[in-house]
Amino acid sequence: MTPFLWFVGKALDGSCLREGATLPVAEKITPFLRWAGSKRRLLPKLSSYWSCDRRRYVEPFVGSAALFFAIRPRQALLSDINSDLIEAFALIRDDAAAVYERLIGLPLGPESYYGLRAENPAILKPVDRAARFIFLNRFCFNGLYRTNTHGAFNVPYAHAKTGGLPSWQQLQACSSLLANAALCHGDFEEILLTGVGSKDFVYLDPPYAVQNRRVFRQYGPDTFGISDLKRLSGVLDEIHARGAHFVLSYAWCREANQTFSKWPARRVYTQRNIAGFVRHRRRAAELIVSNVLPQ
């Protein structure tokens, strides 16, 4: 397993979360990242499982954190196996102004995009690395995160319909809510078994793996496969035994229905927008599994 890493020394039980942090006044907070497989279209259904009596919101496959920004919990633990993603969240939380200053200083267009993509992020300062990550994410094809065999980001530039860079108001609102979040990089199993308590609410949206092939063709050094589904099933048992609530969203497929058959489940439909051309985009069935009924 990959050892997990905490950003700014946050404690697993949330005891180091900032007290009295001001929540954003905006009625709606939009994620500052695009993310393939995001459940933004399912937010009304997913948010119906959330209960304000839960002590903390926990999300181990954070992606763009669309549900987190939608329900705006007062405490959270957000984690992911992607260290660059978690670092970007940490920089937005702790120094959004510096990241925004770097972002607006970057030239737009494919030449700038491919120049940034070719840079070695390991030699950059953290704030420049976070700005690079956000810039590439905002202008890459369909919000994909994909790396080559050497671990280098290799998604091509998208020439249209990316939405541009996030505004200062958007980053400020995200930063304000993230002030009450602990951020962690690591494997989902180790993080959840170490950190989940009886009053937590856990939302899990793992990458899709059908017969060990990623549905969205996202990949990297830590590809999520069928064996990870089995590990995830064991983690759900432990989460339930501890008295925490969980909600899992996944592609409606034979593997998922078999793996999570012991839990109440429902089939819902959403538009899957990962295809490169509109005519190939389709209405897809999604599985929602939970140990609690929606409200």
Determine the structural domain holding residue 248 and report its residue range. Answer: 5-82+166-290
Is 121 inside a domain boundary?
Answer: no
Q: How far apart are CA 244 and CA 199, in angstroms?
A: 5
Q: Judge whether 158 lies within some domain.
A: no
Q: How far apart are CA 59 and CA 196, in angstroms?
A: 10
Decide if 180 is inside a domain.
yes
Domain tally, the chain: 1
Q: Tens digits of per-residue pLDDT, 244-288? A: 999 999 999 899 999 999 999 999 988 765 544 455 556 789 999
Q: What residues pair up with 181 in beta bridges, in sequence order?
A: 76
- The CATH number of whichever domain residue 278 belongs to comes to 3.40.50.150
What is the pTM (predicted TM-score) of this model? 0.86
Q: Is 157 inside any structural domain?
A: no
- 279: tokens are 């005519």
The verdict on residue 73 lying in a domain is yes
Q: How far apart are alpha carbons 2 and 186 in whole angstroms?
A: 6
Strands 213-214 and 209-210, sheet pairing: antiparallel
Please give the Cα distance from 79 to 211 (Å, whole number).
25
Q: Is 54 inside a domain boundary?
A: yes
pLDDT in tens, 122-137: 999 999 999 999 999 9
Tokens of 142: 């369909």
Q: Quick check: is 61 in a domain?
A: yes
215 within a domain of the structure (yes/no): yes
